[in-house]
Amino acid sequence: MGHQHYNGVKTAALFGALWAVLLGLGYLLGGGQPRWILVFAGLGLVMTFYSYWNSDKIAIRAMHARPVSEIEQPAMYRIVRELSTEARQPMPRLYVSPTAAPNAFATGRNPGNAAVCCTEGILQLLDERELRGVLGHELMHVYNRDILTSSVAAAVAGVITSLAQIALFFGGGDRREGGNPLAGLLLALLAPLAATMIQLAISRTREFDADEDGARLTRDPLALASALRKLELGTRARPLPQDRELVDVSHLMIANPFRGEGLARLFATHPPMGERITRLEAQAARDA
């Protein structure tokens, strides 16, 4: 059930690049003194711990979701119970968000503290086979510890942005003899953009992994491919508003919940639906 080795290596390489940007900015700001890097790394760890520990509460609150009983959502319970048993993992808590925008997400710091949420829109849009594909994808985000991965990436990117703002305030940070203030300013300007792009690349890689592993868990890649086709049209027709709370949790959702055109696609938290569907169809062909 493990994801492809290539994607794991890619994620590790992206994290290495993210930390390289952080260390470079810390060196610039601290004039070569490592204590400033340690201070901001410590702040990053605190931010990571808070967002990771409270990830389920933050996402559930942002989507105004409520817990549902098995009487209310028998299909959700049946599918999730079956898949959790198949994966030998505990049953997560189930929620429904009262929004017509079709989407779903899973969150929680570990399988024992996980929550899976579907919007009313996705429950109306998909048939049971497609819903099973979506729920398999979401459960694999929990089992692959993607909540931790995304929390660390977001926290490190946040520290880089803060460091860059301080570096800009001090005119590039490095005032030692022989230092290049223009190069320092350029690094301070470009570092937040680089951090954001790396963070988004990590998010996209984890989506590919959840697609692959979820399809393996359900033994039905084409069901998820069919669901993604419907979700591409559904999210385009009914996008969520881009308020701060929703933007912060959008990377957790199975489909980009916002209408993205042109340059906005460069900053999307999800890979293109067409590529995801193509990969799932190729996986089905391999498994046939």
The catalytic position among 70, 86, 138, 232 is 138
Q: For residue 199, what are its two tokens?
A: 């963070």
- 176: exposed, middle or buried (Cβ count in 10 Å: 0-12, 13-18, 19+): exposed
Task: Give, in order, the Cα–Cα distances in Å from 94 to each of 6, 54, 97, 112.
Answer: 32, 17, 10, 13
- Collapse the DSSP code of 11 into the 3-class scheme (helix H, G, I; strand E, B; otherwise coil) and give the result: helix
Handedness of CA 26, 27, 28, 29 (dihedral sign): positive
**Residue 51 to residue 53: CA distance in whole angstroms:** 6
Q: Which residues of 255-280 are buried (b: 16+ CB within 10 A; e: fewer)?
A: bbbbebeeeeeeebbbbebeebbebb
- Collapse the DSSP code of 116 into the 3-class scheme (helix H, G, I; strand E, B; otherwise coil) and give the result: strand
**Distance between start and end Cα atoms, the chain:** 17
**Residue 164 to residue 126: CA distance in whole angstroms:** 44
Residue with tokens 């594909």: 133
**Residue 11 to residue 13: CA distance in whole angstroms:** 5
DSSP 92: P
**Residue 1 to residue 139: CA distance in whole angstroms:** 12
Q: For residue 189, what are its two tokens?
A: 């300007």
Count CB neighbours of 75 within 10 A. 15
Active-site residue, 245 included: no
**Residue 205 to residue 6: CA distance in whole angstroms:** 10
Catalytic amino acids?
138
